[in-house]
Amino acid sequence: MLYSAVKGWPPVKSGLFLGPVTTVAAMLVAASYRLWLGGSGMWTGVFVIIATGSIGLIWQRFRSGSLASISIQELWVFGVAVHLVLLALMLTIPDGTAQQVLTAISLPILLIYPLATVALGLLLSARLKRQAMTAAVAESEKRYRSIFESANVGKFLIMTTDRLEPNQSFCDMLGYELSEMNQKSLPSLLPVDEQEAVEERLKRLLTGKDDIW
């Protein structure tokens, strides 16, 4: 009978963190497998899967704020609520064994499973934070690149390989194609008598010996 309770756990997380499509798919797979296994607790297991997955979806629908910032307290309350429902569904076990099952599993279910809910929830929350940060950085770089490339003023970046990454205005100003400029270094564009000093200064900047030009 403990198996029937455990089978509801994965849809809970997908319901809260992964949305309806993934949750419904997880519920269908888990419920189908539980039906295939059969046994006296078959329908109890199916009810647990449907109920816990649905609770995750409902919780996600009506909560406020981003899941990336979900608190430990909310995860714990969520875990307790879900597993109280799970325990209530143990009453659907046939053959008059429900009370025996509840006596055996209630304490470990309420002590351990909410804590496991918190632990896994924090891992999924941290993943969402990383995804959000990555998306924000990508969007920022995209905006910067757009401003850089469309600027009417000549601009260029000096890469760590000492090669230039100019915008089109800078290429037009010096009369080079973009592909040509990408192969050049800053000293190569300067008068011969200035190249050595500029090259040395660039080396110091690129190696961290100087932090300003």
The reported pLDDT for the residue numbered 3 is: 45
For the chain, report the end-to-end CA distance as a whole number of angstroms: 72
pLDDT of residue 179: 84
Which of 82, 74, 84, 86 lies closest to 122 in space, CA to CA? 74
Architecture per CATH, 151-206: 2-Layer Sandwich (3.30)
- The residue ranges of DSSP E strands in the chain, in sequence order, are 156-158, 164-166
CA-to-CA distance for 84 and 78, rounded, in angstroms?
10
The pLDDT of residue 212: 60
Cα separation, 188 vs 162, in Å, equals: 11
Q: Report the pLDDT value the prediction gives residue 8, as an integer from 0 to 100.
A: 47
The one-digit pLDDT tens for each residue of the chain (213 residues) are 444 444 445 566 778 888 889 889 988 998 898 888 888 788 888 898 999 889 999 999 898 888 988 999 999 999 999 999 989 998 888 877 888 888 888 998 899 989 989 999 999 999 999 998 999 899 988 888 888 888 888 888 877 677 788 888 888 888 888 888 888 888 888 888 887 888 887 777 777 766 665
The predicted pLDDT at position 1 comes to 45
CA distances from 157 to 15, 132, 154, 160, 201 (A): 46, 27, 11, 10, 15
Can you name the residues that pair with 164 across neighbouring β-strands?
Answer: 158
Element (H, E) at 174: helix 168-174
Tell me what pLDDT residue 4 has.
Answer: 45
Residue 170 vs residues 22, 143, 152, 180: alpha-carbon distances, Å: 49, 19, 9, 12
pLDDT at 10: 54
The domain spans of the chain are 2-142, 151-206
Separation CA 44–CA 84 (nearest Å): 14
